Amino acid sequence: MERYDVIIIGAGLSGIGAACQLRRRLPDQRFLILEARHAIGGTWDLFRYPGIRSDSDMHTLSYSFRPWRAAEAIADGPAIRAYIEETAREEGVAEHIRFGHRVTAAGWSSAESGWTLTIEREGAAPVSLACDWLHACTGYYSYDRAHRPAFAGEEAFAGTIVHPQFWPERLDYAGRRIAVIGSGATAVTLVPALARTAAHVTMVQRSPSYVVSRPARDRIADRLRKVLPERAAYAATRWKNVLLGQFFYRLARRRPRAVARRLIAMVRHELGAGYDVATHFTPRYDPWDQRLCLVPDGDLFAALRDGRASVATGTIDRLTRDGLLLLDGTHVEAEIVVTATGLDILLFGGLALSRNGTIIDPARSLQYKGMMLSDVPNFSFAFGYTNASWTLKADLVAAYLCRLRRTMRRRGAVSATPRVRLGSVTEVPFADLSSGYIRRALSSLPRQGHRRPWRLNQNYALDVLALRFGSVAEAVEFGADRSGTRMKR
């Protein structure tokens, strides 16, 4: 069986980033990326709905080692996909990807100090590969299923129902009336994009979210680019955005009422005194209990002001022949219904993990530094922040993985396993967001502890200290190479 030093699962933003860091920092490690799909990019290749774009700034969503050069700080899906692809080619990792390889199971053997992966291939027999270290960059949701509640009366509806995750390439919506069900990031992105050519778009939401306008271009970044060398300007912009984001997050957690009032006043300013902001844009929760929805240059508000789009807030009773009916009797006419109802959270891409033949249930493990699991040897994963750009964390994790591999080599160790002392840590849930998709998934996610290194920081600056400078030996048991033949590289 072919054996590698490191196998990375997933060729999305995290997997490509991790491979680049591995190549740069540990060039002698033999690695492979296994990707179920036939493309690089993950999320940014899968999602094709109109208007698809980042809602965090590209200076923090792009890699620390490769500056974001485009003028826009909020980029569309194809631009992000191109950035990931170019990075993979320029850094020489593209040729290490095996496409059409879906990893279904990974079994750890203590005797062999390694993982054996079971891999399904389209139109070919399954194959097995072995590795010393497994790094899961599988994202956090199912690529095959989306969260899609059933609505009464769907069979009566004469139009088309689409989910943004599976947007039909040829869907012609110009001149049509569209209802977008949802109030999250996807809905607020879709509404202005569809409204450019549709007859009318109605955003149908059960309850409102916080929606905040931000400039699509970062003027400070533009200025820094003029006066500093490219890398210095990029680093400065990245830190500026990290610190501003953290400042705002902390302010929102400390003074939720004041921040809520300010956010709602900003919406009122956008939409004018005559608009019913209380009904449509005043959430029932505090800012950052759920993610804020950011709209570049207020594009959603512009569509609402122009009358090309509108919002209906209420519970859907059922779909009718020509639209949908809310419980309060409002009828929303629609020929196309878009169910922007969310993702189906899936940990490690559905991978079945086992150790010496015994199934590992990640929900019974404690997460370690947001990147490993207690009692699971030589296994790491990339899971981004809920309150900042995903890549900030994925980048730190990849660099930490390289440090850890180097330490293992120095110690002559063949395994590294986070170990928690029984009774020494109080368990708390993995994420503190109250969003539906998080609540639905909590029971399948690992737990976190009340203290370091079992606590999730959700804070880039603290993670820089923990992952870049903290000890890699903290609460880790290193396994010795008894045969004396491994970890020579």
Q: Given the rule CB under 6 A, which residues bind ligand FAD?
A: 9-15, 34-37, 42-44, 47, 54-56, 61, 102-103, 137-139, 143, 186, 349-351, 382, 384, 389-390, 394
Q: Count CB-CB contacts under 10 A for residue 91.
A: 18
How many angstroms separate the CA atoms of 66 and 91, rounded?
10
Closer residue to ligand FAD, CB minimum distance, 241 or 378: 241
By the 8 A CB rule, do 402 and 472 touch?
A: no
161 — phi, psi (to 5°)? -110, 125
By the 8 A CB rule, do 378 and 415 touch?
A: yes
By the 8 A CB rule, do 383 and 457 touch?
A: no
Taking the complex as a whole, the smallest distance from the CB of residue 311 to ligand FAD amounts, in Å, to: 21
Taking the complex as a whole, the smallest distance from the CB of residue 435 to ligand FAD amounts, in Å, to: 13
Closer residue to ligand FAD, CB minimum distance, 129 or 303: 129
Closer residue to ligand FAD, CB minimum distance, 351 or 408: 351
Closer residue to ligand FAD, CB minimum distance, 46 or 195: 46
Taking the complex as a whole, the smallest distance from the CB of residue 130 to ligand FAD amounts, in Å, to: 16
How many angstroms separate the CA atoms of 315 and 336, rounded?
18
How many angstroms separate the CA atoms of 151 and 332, rounded?
15
By the 8 A CB rule, do 277 and 261 touch?
A: no
Question: In terms of DSSP bridges, do strands 323-326 and 331-333 run parallel, antiparallel, or are they unpaired?
Answer: antiparallel
Taking the complex as a whole, the smallest distance from the CB of residue 16 to ligand FAD amounts, in Å, to: 7
Closer residue to ligand FAD, CB minimum distance, 61 or 456: 61
Closer residue to ligand FAD, CB minimum distance, 32 or 267: 32
What is the layout of strands, in order, in the sheet containing 200-205?
A: 160-162, 336-339, 177-181, 200-205, 309-313
81 — phi, psi (to 5°)? -60, -45
**Cα–Cα distance list, 418 to 105, 129, 378 (Å):** 21, 24, 9
The DSSP secondary-structure symbol of 167 reads: -
Taking the complex as a whole, the smallest distance from the CB of residue 444 to ligand FAD amounts, in Å, to: 15
Taking the complex as a whole, the smallest distance from the CB of residue 205 to ligand FAD amounts, in Å, to: 18
How many angstroms separate the CA atoms of 50 and 53, rounded?
9
Taking the complex as a whole, the smallest distance from the CB of residue 246 to ligand FAD amounts, in Å, to: 14
- Structural element, H or E, at residue 397: helix 390-411
Closer residue to ligand FAD, CB minimum distance, 59 or 355: 59
Q: Is 25 exposed, middle or buried (0-12, 13-18, 19+ CB in 10 A)?
A: middle
Closer residue to ligand FAD, CB minimum distance, 147 or 355: 147
Taking the complex as a whole, the smallest distance from the CB of residue 43 to ligand FAD amounts, in Å, to: 3
How many angstroms separate the CA atoms of 453 and 384, rounded?
17
Closer residue to ligand FAD, CB minimum distance, 67 or 139: 139
Taking the complex as a whole, the smallest distance from the CB of residue 59 to ligand FAD amounts, in Å, to: 12
155: amino acid identity, one letter: E
